[in-house]
Amino acid sequence: MRGKFKDIVTDLAENDPRVIVLLGDISVFQFRHFQERFPDRFHNMGICENALISVAAGLASQGYHPFVHTIAPFITDRSFEQIKLDMVYNDFGGNIVSCGASFDYAWDGATHHTYFDLAMLRMLPGAEVCQPGSEAELAALMPSQYANGKTTYFRLSDKPHDIDLGDDLAFGRGVVLKDVGAPMTVMTAGPMLAEVLPACQDLNVNLVYFHTLKPIDQAPVTRFADTEIVVVQDAFGLSEAIAGVRPGLRMAVLGVDRMDRFETCYGTHHDMRAALQLDTAALRARIPTAFQSAA
């Protein structure tokens, strides 16, 4: 997905001289052609996430459209106050593009696991939060949002799904993947769709997918509000977004939820999903009984 990000930004930069890339010494090789093509609009600024955000806010204050890119926990957890104040409170805006979502870097341990970012950034007034699960989704979201003056978070994943969601992808719009009139609806977001879609294949459930967590699309939540809703997530944020649509939803959460501990295991993202019972087989077994186990 990082390669797609580079392609999109390169295309945008061809037509928009206000596009600037600020890297935290990540994806530098990926952006080598961008650097050659636009040397004045490329800065590998260094491993200094606080400064990356503040400098981007300063650039945005003067009309530029900065893309800040580095590893997710460091640009979001460490620089949360810079994002909150310099970008959002000051209303300067800017684009934050992270890599290493959730357990993409499982082997690196808890310092590199990222599952607070979506929930944290979702709380910021006026901020936009995107969790594209595939390159096609990124291509649909980034060009429409990068220049709107807001603070927009694009959470890339190195482990995207490869499911074709069609051409009708648009920022802020959820995707109803399955509507069988079932009494239960599964809702998920981002790369987890790779596990959730096959898990739901033979279950009597409806399925809704989100690539935008803020603003959350209220229409599909409202449409299935009378069903039991099972949220499957590998990071905090989606369940809070859905719960905020309307009171009284009957909702159970599978995955990262009320997790009052660090996940200190290593391995791959597959290992982590298995450990959290978020792999396809586990989900297929857990979804039908989600309300029983939640109770």
- For the CB of residue 155, give the shortest distance to other proteins in the complex, in Å: 23
C-alpha separations of 135 from 41, 55, 132 in Å:
24, 28, 7
Q: Does 43 bind other proteins (CB under 8 A)?
A: yes
Q: Which of 15, 29, 40, 168 binds other proteins (CB under 8 A)?
A: 40
Q: Which of 81, 158, 162, 226 binds other proteins (CB under 8 A)?
A: 81
Q: Does 185 bind other proteins (CB under 8 A)?
A: no
Residue 25 or 179: which CB sits closer to other proteins?
A: 25
- For the CB of residue 93, give the shortest distance to other proteins in the complex, in Å: 12
Q: Does 57 bind other proteins (CB under 8 A)?
A: yes
- Separation between Cα atoms, residue 191 and residue 189, nearest integer Å: 7
Q: What is the DSSP letter of 24?
A: S
Region near other proteins per CB under 8 A, out of 26-34, 84-92, 175-183, 226-234 = 84-92
Query: Do 82 and 60 meet the contact criterion of CB atoms below 8 Å apart?
Result: no
Residue 24 or 237: which CB sits closer to other proteins?
A: 24
Q: Does 56 bind other proteins (CB under 8 A)?
A: yes
Q: Does 55 bind other proteins (CB under 8 A)?
A: yes
- For the CB of residue 16, give the shortest distance to other proteins in the complex, in Å: 13
Region near other proteins per CB under 8 A, out of 29-37, 77-85, 109-117, 134-142 = 77-85
Q: What is the DSSP letter of 107?
A: G
- For the CB of residue 43, give the shortest distance to other proteins in the complex, in Å: 7
Residue 45 or 118: which CB sits closer to other proteins?
A: 45
Question: What tokens appear for 7 in the block?
Answer: 């392609």
Region near other proteins per CB under 8 A, out of 82-90, 111-119, 241-249, 261-269 = 82-90
With CB under 8 A, what is the number of residues at the site for other proteins?
A: 31
Residue 89 or 116: which CB sits closer to other proteins?
A: 89
Residue 94 or 133: which CB sits closer to other proteins?
A: 94
Residue 15 or 62: which CB sits closer to other proteins?
A: 62
Q: Does 82 bind other proteins (CB under 8 A)?
A: yes
Residue 257: closest CA among 243, 273, 237, 242: 237
218: left (phi > 0), else alpha (psi -120 to 50), else beta? alpha
- For the CB of residue 76, give the shortest distance to other proteins in the complex, in Å: 16
Q: Which of 12, 51, 165, 274 binds other proteins (CB under 8 A)?
A: 51
SS3 sequence of 180-203: CCCCEEEEEEHHHHHHHHHHHCCC
Binding site for other proteins (CB under 8 A): 17, 20, 40-41, 43, 45-46, 48, 50-51, 53-64, 66, 81-82, 85-86, 89-92
